Amino acid sequence: MVDSVATEVILDNRTTYMAKFTNISDATGEGATVKIDVDALTVPCHLVSIDEIIYSTFGAGVQILWDATTDVLVWMLPANSSGHLNFRQSGTPLVNTKATGYTGDVSFLFTSALVSAGHGYSIVLICTKTL
């Protein structure tokens, strides 16, 4: 069996990418899995910055990562929590660090070693594209 995952693209235009990502685990969890492949977007781009994160996690936390030779932690969403983080409102969006071997992609990684069946998340990312 595998985790039940889904991506619902809400908006993908020249400047903005917004999508909802969900995962219900089968107890195996999710490795560092690319969720935003910048080359595969409707209007491909070089990278994205994250303006907002709307989330709910249950049973396990989620690391949001910039994909690179060694992935870079963007933000940690704790287990059993929910919230709305608006970085645009504060004037400080989360910008890709461009670490060695960066791809511009965004990945998610479950953080709990004790992921059980039924644990998961619902995460909406609102991003600005850099062409």
Angstrom distance (rounded) from CA 111 to CA 115: 8
pLDDT score of 115: 77
Q: Are 23 and 121 in contact (CB under 8 A)?
A: yes
pTM assigned to the model: 0.94
Mean pLDDT within 85-105: 96
H helix or E strand, kind and range, residue 55: strand 47-58
pLDDT score of 30: 78
Sign of CA dihedral 97, 100, 106, 109: negative
Give residue 117's domain range. Answer: 4-130
Residue 1 pLDDT > 70: no
Residue 29 belongs to domain with CATH number: 2.60.120
DSSP 100: T
Angstrom distance (rounded) from CA 20 to CA 5: 11
pLDDT in tens, 27-81: 877 788 999 999 999 999 999 999 999 999 999 899 999 999 999 999 999 999 9
Nearest in space to 112 (alpha carbons), one of 103, 121, 104: 121
Q: How many domains does the chain have?
A: 1
